[in-house]
Amino acid sequence: MAIGQRIRFFRNRKGMTQKHLGEILGFVGKTSDVRMAQYESEARIPKQDLVKNMAHFLDVSTHALTVPDIDTYIGLMHTFFALEDMRGLKIGEVDGEVVLHLDKSDYSTYSTMDKMLRAWLAEAKKLESGEITKEEYDEWRYKYPELDTHQIWAKVYPQELFDFIDECAKEAEKEEKKEAKRKKKK
């Protein structure tokens, strides 16, 4: 989750408007909600001292607001927390061991993530059984989903391409109508 999404998430959690949070942070008048909207849309990125102030007023750690650094244990923990908020990741215990699992109450997220995690599990089991090498396993992970044969992935083209094709088709149709009118006149 990017910093703008985190700011919005925690602001909403506190029941604050953009204007209210902006005013608390020292922005005056109309600039208060405009500035907060810019941060939340990531048109602007707040400086570290402002992030500290936001965290203070939103009553969270600066780690909760910023994009977590997964190369640190604290950053990794905040990544898990963000995944709990966004994707329904839950923590539990099975046979005395701590486990992470998906919340089944959000079926759409659960079914999508379950398929992806099962594909990963299948590849991990192949590695463990010696069916594939560590290099093949890493290649699968680092090129995911390109090499995933467990699921069928459809290539989705950008909307701009469809818009361009549609515009070209409309232009061609106009030209055909003009040509038909010219032929009729002859």
pTM value?
0.63
pLDDT digits (tens, 9 = 90+) for 61-107: 898 888 888 899 999 999 999 899 888 899 999 999 999 999 999 88
| 105 vs 163 pLDDT, higher one | 105
Give, in degrees to the nearest 5, the angle at Cα 55 between 53 and 56. 65
**The tokens of 3 are what?**
């910093």
pLDDT digits (tens, 9 = 90+) for 9-65: 999 999 999 999 999 999 998 899 999 999 999 999 999 999 999 999 999 989 888
Q: Residue 68's closest CA among 44, 53, 85?
A: 85
Contact present, 62 and 51 (Cβ < 8 Å): yes
If you ran DSSP here, which 8-state letter would residue 143 be given?
Answer: T
**Residue 126 binned pLDDT confidence (cut-offs 50, 70, 90):** very high
Q: What is the mean pLDDT of residues 108-128?
A: 92
Secondary structure element (H or E) that encloses residue 93, with its range: strand 89-94
Q: Residues near 67 by Cβ (< 8 Å), separated by ≥ 6?
A: 1, 2, 3, 6
